Structure 1
Amino acid sequence: MKVFEWDDLRVFLAIYRGRSVRAASKLMGVSHSTISRRLQAMESQLDLKLFVRHNEGFILTEMGEAMVERAERVESEILSMEREVFGRDALLSGPIRITMLPHIAQHLIIPHIVKFTALYPDIHIEIDANNNIVDLDRRNADIAIRFQAEPEEHLIGRKLPDFGLAVYASLNYEAEQSFTGKNPSARWLSWEKANQHGLLSRWIKTTPYAYCQVQHSIADPLALQQAVKAGLGFAYLFSFTADQDPQLKRLPDIDMQFIPAWILTHPDSVATERVKVFARFLWDALNEDKDLIQGTIN
């Protein structure tokens, strides 16, 4: 029997994790037909089925289950080797991939990257600005800026200033709507989905405007700020962006809320000199922006 190549095992693990050819093709960035063809080749080599096709997705057979642990062990070794090789690169040149939420990239990070690239013109910055949590273990990024209480134990974390949020409305909305009384007309905008009762719901209950209904939900912070500015409602917004908008006004008598944030790197990636230098530069730069980030500049 032919020994599987690493790409064969990657296809197998992608189908296992995605439970479909479609999901596996997205994970690997190849066509559906490529995934199907590679799976057929593997099963032909074994003369056994690795997956059973059900309506709810691909289910491992007994043979498939026996392969998972070994395939993941091979994957772990190869990823570790790649990180180690990458980590030995001490040149202040080459790419650095950083991931963060879009509004942090647009309103905080880009100006600092301009300064950094002036100092290190041979380093190429790749910004992945999205709302997803990118896997640092798989080298999908070298550096991540994340909102979380504590970093994962195996990652290296540099604590950033806590990000401040206050309650904002547009100037017209604040003047035209009632926010208190038995039947207030003002409406909260939320980043939580309907019927969710998370952090934001607890914050709202502590405000003088707890009787205002939550009417709309907008997950993206920049879109939420635009909705407030357009007069769709009022909301908790990040102060480092909302305070810069002259069409928005902080509503009075409400305590600010704060979310912890970190710069995170994988131990193998941070061994690379350019990643280490960039992470330190960002940490210093964002700490200089502490008053802006925490909302104490208004």
Structure 2
Amino acid sequence: MVDWEDVRHFLAVAQSGTLSGAARNLKVDHATVSRRLAALETALDVRLVDRLPRSCRLTVTGRQVFERALEMEAGAHAIARLAKAAHAPLAGRVTLSAPPVLVTHLLADHLPRFRKEYPDIRLSLSAEGRVVSLSRREADVAVRFVQPDEASSVARKIGTMAFGLYAHRSYAHLSAPERWEFIAWDQTYADMPAQSWLFGIADDRPVACELTHSSEHLIAVRAGVGVAGLPCFIGERDRDLVRIGEDIPSFARDIWLMVHRDLRKAPAVRAVMEFVAATISEDQYLSIR
């Protein structure tokens, strides 16, 4: 009988292409991955991976086993989701993945309310920009700015995040648009729509600095570094900032709430989804109109 743990380690090697990469992804040491891979090859009596100096390459049989292993992984995750959905109502741990800007400037502020209403649910709130896989159980619930395309997930639009140009009210070039300098996103988010929108406005005017997250942009614009493109739900509430460039093109991102279809009726998961949807809809700058 094949050991699922051996198969899981083989999958990590196949997906990362190296033993060290698999070890990092699984949070184990290099020796454990090597031992598990060897155990699977011994149990099957076939070589699955060619160990090269800097990488691991699947053999012909290894590629065939890899396809079956993916099916095993999907089945294992499905079992775990069904078990989670059967847990006691309104209790347990629920993981929520959301963009950093919404976690830092909105959702975290409302956690006391959620805790008061659902004291037996442990909400694990992760601020991350990457698209997580619900089928792989990387999160139970996710909030994203793009409509998800996972066939096993269900999603609905819960809000719209509009952007505007903001500067500190004491910014030296506030009344001279031709002298504005801009605060842009760094290469981490170089391809995101907000960056294209901002560069379209800046045109040939200089970029003062590049920062990763909107929270850092907010600090920089408060310090008078330059002009920033901020979500309106942040910029409009800051008394030290003024909105500028009324004739600039409008820009907004849709906000999507998604969950795996196997978990959508689990009471604790539904409570988290309702909390997120209500928090977004109650905000005048994010609600759908």
Q: TM-score normalised to the size of structure 1? A: 0.85
Structure 1 unaligned runs (5+)?
Answer: none
**Which amino acid letter does the alignment assign opposite residue 128 of structure 1?**
S
Map residues 1-298 of structure 1 onto 2, 5 A cutoff.
3-54=1-52, 57-149=55-147, 152-175=150-173, 178-180=176-178, 184=179, 186-191=180-185, 193=187, 199-200=193-194, 202-204=196-198, 207=201, 209-253=202-246, 254-289=248-283, 291-293=284-286
Alpha-carbon distance in structure 2 between the residues aligned to 1:153 and 1:233: 43
| Aligned residue pair count | 288
Alpha-carbon distance in structure 2 between the residues aligned to 1:152 and 1:194: 24
**Which amino acid letter does the alignment assign opposite residue 245 of structure 2?**
P
Alpha-carbon distance in structure 1 between the residues aligned to 2:151 and 2:67: 23
**Which amino acid letter does the alignment assign opposite residue 191 of structure 1?**
W
**Which amino acid letter does the alignment assign opposite residue 171 of structure 2?**
Y
Determine if contact 1:240/1:294 at 8 Å carries over to the other structure. Answer: no
Determine if contact 1:165/1:256 at 8 Å carries over to the other structure. Answer: yes
- Show CA shifts across 1:92-118 (max 9, x none): 111111111223112211233321221
- Show CA shifts across 1:15-62 (max 9, x none): 111111222122212222211221233334445432223455211112
Q: CA RMSD in A?
A: 2.7
SS of the aligned residue for 1:269 comes to coil
Single out whichever of 147-156 and 25-34 deviates more from structure 2: 147-156
Structure 2 unaligned runs (5+)?
Answer: none
Alpha-carbon distance in structure 2 between the residues aligned to 1:195 and 1:70: 35
Please report how far the alpha carbon of residue 159 of structure 1 lies from its aligned counterpart in structure 2 after TM superposition: 1.3
- Show CA shifts across 1:75-132 (max 9, x none): 1111111112222225111111111122311221123332122122111111112223
Determine if contact 2:264/2:270 at 8 Å carries over to the other structure. Answer: yes
Alpha-carbon distance in structure 2 between the residues aligned to 1:167 and 1:178: 14
Alpha-carbon distance in structure 2 between the residues aligned to 1:40 and 1:153: 34
**Which amino acid letter does the alignment assign opposite residue 185 of structure 2?**
W
User: Using a 3 Å threshold, how does the CA distance of structure 1 residues 174 and 160 change in structure 2: closer, same or farther?
Assistant: farther
Single out whichever of 171-180 and 19-28 deviates more from structure 2: 171-180
Alpha-carbon distance in structure 2 between the residues aligned to 1:5 and 1:132: 31
User: Using a 3 Å threshold, how does the CA distance of structure 1 residues 248 and 156 change in structure 2: closer, same or farther?
Assistant: same
Alpha-carbon distance in structure 2 between the residues aligned to 1:244 and 1:50: 58
